[in-house]
Chain A
Amino acid sequence: MARNKFDIDENLESPFNIRHFRRAIVYIKKQKTPMIVAFVLSALSAGIALSAPLIMQHVVDVTIPEKDTLSLVGWSAVTLATIVISVILATIRSRIMTRVGQDIIFEIRTDLFKHLQELPFQYYDDRPQGKILIRVVNYVNSVSDVLSNGIINFILEILNLLFIAAFMFAVDVKLSLVILAGLPVFIAVILLIKTRQRRAWQAVSNKSSNLNAYLQESISGIRVTQIFTREKRNEGIFTRLSVNYRSAWMKTMYLNFLVPFSVDNLTTMVTTAIFFVGLLAMGPEEATFGVILAMSSYASRFWQPILNLSNIYNSFVNSVAYLERIFETLDEPVTVSDVPKARELPPIQGSVSFDDVTFAYDPGLNILENLSFNVKAGESIALVGPTGAGKTTVVNLLSRFYNVTGGKILIDGHDISEVKLKSLRSQMGIMLQDSFIFSGTILDNIRYGKLDATEEEVIAAAKTVCADDFIREFEKGYLTEVNERGSKLSQGQRQLISFARTLLADPRILILDEATSSIDAQTERLLQKGLNELLKGRTSFIIAHRLSTVRNCDRILYVADRGVAESGSHDQLIAKQGRYYKLHTAQKMEA
């Protein structure tokens, strides 16, 4: 059962630690070379840009007083040249860094998506889909700049700071200390808001995740909403979620803007302090006017990089809230995966045996207990029994969607927990109760079962399941665009398409889980004929409630009370006059 819904914040299991950032470094490291190049270019560009004020100084002090027009033109040209060169360097840097930033998030996103493919049903069952979606798309987008430009700028600003500090100290130590006196205050401000800021950004990420989850559900469940005329109430819930998001956002803003606010004021304060100390406390013999003048301009030049750093810091704190979520997902354990020495499952005949299998979704609540049975290759098995008795669980275990809690499942004598998942599942055809349709053409949807199938193969499969007729009735036939939720296809038609998809995969073991529940009797009869052909030579497990569907199976397993209560052919079970017989009689009476 699920653990999270749209209005529950997902709390992080561990507090943030540097480990998260170190993991981000892994992605950054791969871009080391271009980043170093970009860094050097930036440093050069900044260095060249520094010469402009010096030239201006020279022009004012020397060239103009000397009325040297030629030299003025010359210096102007030089200035223009420095501008052009530094702009070119900056452009190259930006070109490199655009690629770096995009490549980093491309990789993070790919890894995230790949990992999601490995995660078991349980992961998807536990939380609303919208909360997974927002991580892959929106969160990853948000961290691009910090992980690329943010890092380079951070280093540049630090260097800049050290550079200016060195100059500053060379001119006057005492006044330099005055300028530095602002630093402890700045650090105190940061320390004061740091924790709150982090918590505030986490709240923003939580609230936007909740909003996203609810939005996605509202869209997929629109029909139910409309029929139950719940629009007003849903609007209320959505409004509440939006209000929560807004207040979380505003809270971060109140904190965020404190940073530039304090840096700005500290800059002014240390500048005036220079005037005070330099002019009033120190005598002219200690600090000449020139020194004071220089130091007052250093004051603002020293604090400019600090302002820039604090802006980088702000976006860093913001990104960390998203990075945590991303890495949390990447850390999600893959419970069903290939064991270290997993072998390829060789092409199978299709004999199956359950050997003392016990299974529980939640510990202590066994769905199946000590279940044992053998199926010969090519046998068709029907699973019947009350809803919720565990029929679907049996076939889910066989496909290893879940790991057994105890016991073993063998196919052709191979323990399925020891073979590669892909080699196992690609030899099985599973038709689920929920017939999911991807947006795309009908052709593509059927072809999902065998990606390289020719059009003829697709049509043949559709014919077998009696889907060809209705597909051709569409104006565009097999090229009709369908989607996840649209009403172009009826539920029965969806089942037929998903059936064709399964058959196209040509599996050795076929699992049909209520595959025909929404299909009418006439079509089902036609289907049955094609199906009988197909079932020949394949092992099949069929879950159905209609006894007409199951009576043709070689063997019927009546699943109840956490195990197989009865087993045998239709006639045997009827003769036994047990639970199957009762069920059968009930159906007869109904009729």
Chain B
Amino acid sequence: MFQLKWLWHNLIGDRIRYIIALLLSVVGSSLTIVNPYIGQRIVDTFIAGENASSNLASERALLIGLCLGMIGFSLLRTGLAYFTTILYERASQNMLFRVRVYLYNKIQGQDMKYYDHNRTGDLMTKMTGDLEMVRHSIAWIIKTIIESLTVFAAAVVYFFFIDVGLTLWLLLLSPPIFIVAFIFARRVRPMYMDLRERLSQLNTTTQENIAGNRVVKAFAREEYEVKKFTDKNVNYSEANKAAAMVWLDYFPYLETLAQAFNVILMLAGGVLVMNGRLTFGEFSAFSALIWGLSNPMRNIGIIINDIQRFFASLSKVIEVYYAHPDIVNEHKAAVKKRYRGRIQFDQVSFKYDNAMVLQDISFSVEPGETLAIMGATGAGKTTLINLIPRFYDVAKGRVLVDGTDVRKLELDELRGNIGVATQDVLLFSDTIDGNIAYGNPEMPEEDVVKFAGLAAAHGFIRKIPDGYDTIVGERGVGLSGGQKQRIALARAMAVQPPILILDDTTSAVDLETEEHIQKSLRELEFDCTKIIIAQRVSTTSQADRILILENGRVIETGSHAELLAKRGYYYDVFMLQTEGIGRQANAIG
């Protein structure tokens, strides 16, 4: 069975521990029969038996021995049970740990396309609730199955030795129990698939509400959010109830059948005793151990229930487990070499969901040059730069770095050579220091300060009471847009990459600050090719070359002066942005 194989595969490293646990489970469940047996012997020999009084007088040692034996066995059995349970817990936690880290890496290794289609709340559900259910299968479901089977088998064997006929009568109950359990399993399975889907929706709604709390407040949409949440909450609650109700539809049959062992014993056993085919002693032996048949049968329902939950969760877990990104980072670079920084686009086209986003783009940037990209919203600027670190692969053409197609380069090496300050500034809930040193956590503090200075961030960081040790919230909450951008810029510069990509990184900083940043960029201590996406002429004017994108095509290319002379898109933008500043600006053009 696939599911078992999967579990077995992921138990690697704990397989021996797990097998020992299973064996101890068998031993331990068999031991549960011993103490009642000793107790019975004490009662028979010293209390209820014919020679009880004389035995009590003559065989005190035996009594003491049996009692000590009982305590001994109890200590042994419970000690064993304690040890076994810990083994199960340990093995299941180890598996949980192993799979969780594996999935974490899987998630980290997915390409952007995957993230375009998977919601955070959904991934969170898989990594928490679903994995917990998978762990439960190892720690509880399989354990319970083995223990129930052992007790059941032991009881059946024991009963067979006493009386085959009565045992067969009792076993008559098993087939109907199995049939009911089977029907139940089939009916409840889709319910658990549904339940876990709704849990995932609840998670997503809550997660987005938390992430978007500022928007919620800005629009005073608290009531609407509560309503949206309540919908999901009701759905989830209803699904929970519905699944439980299906279980309760079958529970009465299973429970009645399981308890009916007592009735059959009474009736069939009673008749057999009356007929003299069974002695009273044999009958009471049956009745003392009848729980060995009924308890495992009682467990079947609960086991089936949990198995179905487990299946539902596992099917979600393996979606991540076996997800295969188109762009695979093998993390194989032994020695990461430093590139010179030559970038070339060779007739590149890119499609996203069947829509052409970039068409036939060709250009090249020499090491140390600065390329500026400008264009309308949605023209494909960010998409274009995303192709360089291979966040996406081209549909046609080639992207070359230092003359090699990026698809042939080792991803770690390639990305290690590129510093990107993204447009959507993502900071982590860590200290400012930790955020700037994100690319190289061992970076000395002086360097962090130096790069913060280059990004014009040192000034405001110094003014915060905790300075570089200030913890910024996720997404940098608590900082202004411009401040976040500058930290992201410092973070990108701090890796001292030969290729630096700035995606509209200074849109929210004021001009004085931007000027400072421009100067820093021109005077970087390391050789660096720069690609800068910008909307402001003030940012692009210094570039060696400017690329104008429109609807995924390059419509103009050249230096500031060349493009102004062309009197095309760039010229228009220039006019637009300078008309507010003074008429003499026209003269420059």
Say yes or no: is B251 at the interface (Cβ < 8 Å to chain A).
yes
Question: Quick one: which of A76, A225, A436 contacts B108, CB cutoff 8 A?
Answer: A225
Question: Quick one: which of A130, A231, A280, A433 contacts B105, CB cutoff 8 A?
Answer: A231
Taking CB atoms, residues of chain A closer than 8 Å to B422 are 223-224, 227
Question: Quick one: which of B78, B211, B262 contacts A265, CB cutoff 8 A?
Answer: B78
Taking CB atoms, residues of chain B closer than 8 Å to A422 are 220, 222-223
Taking CB atoms, residues of chain B closer than 8 Å to A272 are 67-68, 70-71
Taking CB atoms, residues of chain A closer than 8 Å to B210 are 116, 124, 129, 132-133
Taking CB atoms, residues of chain B closer than 8 Å to A545 are 482, 507-511
Question: Quick one: which of A102, A249, A293, A449 contacts B47, CB cutoff 8 A?
Answer: A293
Taking CB atoms, residues of chain B closer than 8 Å to A449 are 219
Of listed A69, A229, A268, residue having the most chain B CB within 10 A = A229
Contact mask B69-85 → A, CB, 8 Å, 1/0?
A: 01100110111011001
Say yes or no: is A473 at the interface (Cβ < 8 Å to chain B).
yes
Q: With the chains together, A496 CA to B376 CA distance in Å?
A: 12
Beta-carbon nearest neighbor of B238 in chain A: A102
Contact mask A473-511 → B, CB, 8 Å, 1/0?
A: 111000000011111101111011010010001000000
Taking CB atoms, residues of chain B closer than 8 Å to A584 are 581
Q: With the chains together, A275 CA to B582 CA distance in Å?
A: 108
Please choose the segment from A22-30, A314-322, A514-522 that sits at the chain B interface, where 4 or more of its residues have CB less than 8 A away.
A514-522
Taking CB atoms, residues of chain A closer than 8 Å to B244 are 94, 98
Say yes or no: is A87 at the interface (Cβ < 8 Å to chain B).
yes
Contact A91 to B248, CB < 8 A, known contacts A128-B474, A253-B86, A264-B78: yes
Contact across chains for A60 and B284 when beta carbons are under 8 A apart: yes
Taking CB atoms, residues of chain B closer than 8 Å to A352 are none
Question: Quick one: which of A1, A52, A69, A239 contacts B470, CB cutoff 8 A?
Answer: A1
Contact across chains for A525 and B474 when beta carbons are under 8 A apart: no
Contact A59 to B270, CB < 8 A, known contacts A136-B206, A264-B74, A271-B39: yes
Of listed A276, A433, A495, residue having the most chain B CB within 10 A = A433
Minimum CB–CB distance from B17 to chain A (whole Å) comes to 13
Taking CB atoms, residues of chain A closer than 8 Å to B93 are 246, 249-250
Taking CB atoms, residues of chain B closer than 8 Å to A501 are 219
Question: Quick one: which of B222, B374, B382, B481 contacts A490, CB cutoff 8 A?
Answer: B382
Main secondary structure, interface of A, reads: helix
Contact across chains for A521 and B481 when beta carbons are under 8 A apart: no
Beta-carbon nearest neighbor of B212 in chain A: A436
8 residue pairs, one from A and one from B, having the closest CB atoms = A387-B482, A492-B377, A590-B538, A268-B74, A425-B220, A517-B507, A486-B116, A433-B481
Minimum CB–CB distance from B503 to chain A (whole Å) comes to 8
Please choose the segment from A153-161, A167-175, A213-221, A455-463 that sits at the chain B interface, where 4 or more of its residues have CB less than 8 A away.
A213-221
Say yes or no: is A19 at the interface (Cβ < 8 Å to chain B).
no
Say yes or no: is B580 at the interface (Cβ < 8 Å to chain A).
yes
Contact A109 to B233, CB < 8 A, known contacts A79-B266, A227-B389, A485-B115: yes
Say yes or no: is B306 at the interface (Cβ < 8 Å to chain A).
no
Taking CB atoms, residues of chain A closer than 8 Å to B508 are 387, 433, 514, 517, 545
Contact across chains for B70 and A268 when beta carbons are under 8 A apart: yes
Contact across chains for A591 and B588 when beta carbons are under 8 A apart: yes
Question: Quick one: which of A90, A99, A258, A293 contacts B43, CB cutoff 8 A?
Answer: A293
Give 13 new A-B contacts, CB below 8 A, not counting A265-B74, A267-B74, A422-B222.
A64-B283, A76-B266, A83-B260, A90-B255, A113-B206, A219-B123, A225-B108, A227-B389, A230-B438, A242-B101, A386-B512, A387-B508, A490-B383
Within 8 A of A (CB), among B126-151: 127-129
Please choose the segment from B18-26, B521-529, B567-575 that sits at the chain A interface, where 4 or more of its residues have CB less than 8 A away.
B567-575
Taking CB atoms, residues of chain B closer than 8 Å to A233 are 441
Contact across chains for B377 and A296 when beta carbons are under 8 A apart: no
Taking CB atoms, residues of chain A closer than 8 Å to B127 are 215
Say yes or no: is B287 at the interface (Cβ < 8 Å to chain A).
yes
Say yes or no: is A588 at the interface (Cβ < 8 Å to chain B).
yes
Taking CB atoms, residues of chain A closer than 8 Å to B466 are 1
Q: With the chains together, A167 CA to B234 CA distance in Å?
A: 47
Say yes or no: is A235 at the interface (Cβ < 8 Å to chain B).
yes
Q: With the chains together, A344 CA to B229 CA distance in Å?
A: 26
Contact across chains for A228 and B438 when beta carbons are under 8 A apart: yes
> Can you offer 8 A-B residue contacts whose CB atoms are under 8 A?
A60-B284, A127-B429, A227-B420, A289-B52, A426-B219, A487-B386, A488-B352, A590-B537
Taking CB atoms, residues of chain B closer than 8 Å to A191 are none
Contact A117 to B418, CB < 8 A, known contacts A484-B120, A548-B579: no
Say yes or no: is B396 at the interface (Cβ < 8 Å to chain A).
no
Beta-carbon nearest neighbor of A93 in chain B: B248
Contact A514 to B481, CB < 8 A, known contacts A235-B105, A470-B378: yes
Q: With the chains together, A132 CA to B428 CA distance in Å?
A: 16
Contact across chains for B202 and A228 when beta carbons are under 8 A apart: no
Beta-carbon nearest neighbor of B202 in chain A: A137
Q: With the chains together, A586 CA to B483 CA distance in Å?
A: 20
Taking CB atoms, residues of chain A closer than 8 Å to B217 are 121, 399, 401, 425
Taking CB atoms, residues of chain B closer than 8 Å to A484 are 119-120, 208, 211-212
Contact across chains for A222 and B511 when beta carbons are under 8 A apart: no
Contact across chains for B416 and A229 when beta carbons are under 8 A apart: yes
Contact across chains for B211 and A219 when beta carbons are under 8 A apart: no
Q: With the chains together, A1 CA to B471 CA distance in Å?
A: 6
Question: Quick one: which of B64, B121, B483, B541 contacts A387, CB cutoff 8 A?
Answer: B483
Say yes or no: is A441 at the interface (Cβ < 8 Å to chain B).
no
Of listed B75, B108, B219, B507, residue having the most chain A CB within 10 A = B219
Contact across chains for B48 and A121 when beta carbons are under 8 A apart: no
Taking CB atoms, residues of chain A closer than 8 Å to B117 are 486
Minimum CB–CB distance from B340 to chain A (whole Å) comes to 19
Contact across chains for B262 and A87 when beta carbons are under 8 A apart: no
Contact A385 to B266, CB < 8 A, known contacts A253-B86, A451-B224, A519-B377: no
Taking CB atoms, residues of chain B closer than 8 Å to A212 are 124, 128
Contact across chains for A387 and B513 when beta carbons are under 8 A apart: yes
Q: With the chains together, A110 CA to B205 CA distance in Å?
A: 13
Say yes or no: is A587 at the interface (Cβ < 8 Å to chain B).
yes
Question: Quick one: which of B108, B430, B441, B581 contacts A218, CB cutoff 8 A?
Answer: B108
Contact across chains for B35 and A52 when beta carbons are under 8 A apart: no
Contact across chains for B212 and A438 when beta carbons are under 8 A apart: yes
Contact mask B406-434 → A, CB, 8 Å, 1/0?
A: 00000110011011101110101110000
Say yes or no: is B169 at the interface (Cβ < 8 Å to chain A).
no
Contact A221 to B428, CB < 8 A, known contacts A106-B234, A133-B210, A588-B582: yes
Say yes or no: is A118 at the interface (Cβ < 8 Å to chain B).
yes
Contact A217 to B208, CB < 8 A, known contacts A95-B245, A269-B71, A487-B112: no
Q: With the chains together, A141 CA to B518 CA distance in Å?
A: 53
Please choose the segment from A2-10, A34-42, A176-184 that sits at the chain B interface, where 4 or more of its residues have CB less than 8 A away.
A2-10
Minimum CB–CB distance from B469 to chain A (whole Å) comes to 10
Say yes or no: is B216 at the interface (Cβ < 8 Å to chain A).
yes
Beta-carbon nearest neighbor of A582 in chain B: B512
Minimum CB–CB distance from A243 to chain B (whole Å) comes to 7
Beta-carbon nearest neighbor of B290 in chain A: A56
Beta-carbon nearest neighbor of A292 in chain B: B47
Contact A254 to B263, CB < 8 A, known contacts A223-B112, A231-B109, A586-B511: no
Question: Quick one: which of A130, A386, A401 contacts B513, CB cutoff 8 A?
Answer: A386
Contact across chains for A110 and B222 when beta carbons are under 8 A apart: no
Say yes or no: is B63 at the interface (Cβ < 8 Å to chain A).
yes
Question: Quick one: which of B47, B86, B224, B504 contacts A518, CB cutoff 8 A?
Answer: B504
Contact across chains for A520 and B376 when beta carbons are under 8 A apart: yes
Say yes or no: is A16 at the interface (Cβ < 8 Å to chain B).
no
Within 8 A of A (CB), among B183-223: 199, 202-204, 206-223
Contact across chains for A117 and B472 when beta carbons are under 8 A apart: no
Taking CB atoms, residues of chain B closer than 8 Å to A362 are 465
Beta-carbon nearest neighbor of A88 in chain B: B252
Question: Quick one: which of A75, A117, A488 contacts B225, CB cutoff 8 A?
Answer: A117
Say yes or no: is B42 at the interface (Cβ < 8 Å to chain A).
yes
Minimum CB–CB distance from A451 to chain B (whole Å) comes to 6
Taking CB atoms, residues of chain B closer than 8 Å to A492 are 377-378
Contact mask A430-456 → B, CB, 8 Å, 1/0?
A: 111110101100000000110100000
Taking CB atoms, residues of chain B closer than 8 Å to A223 are 112, 115, 391, 422, 426
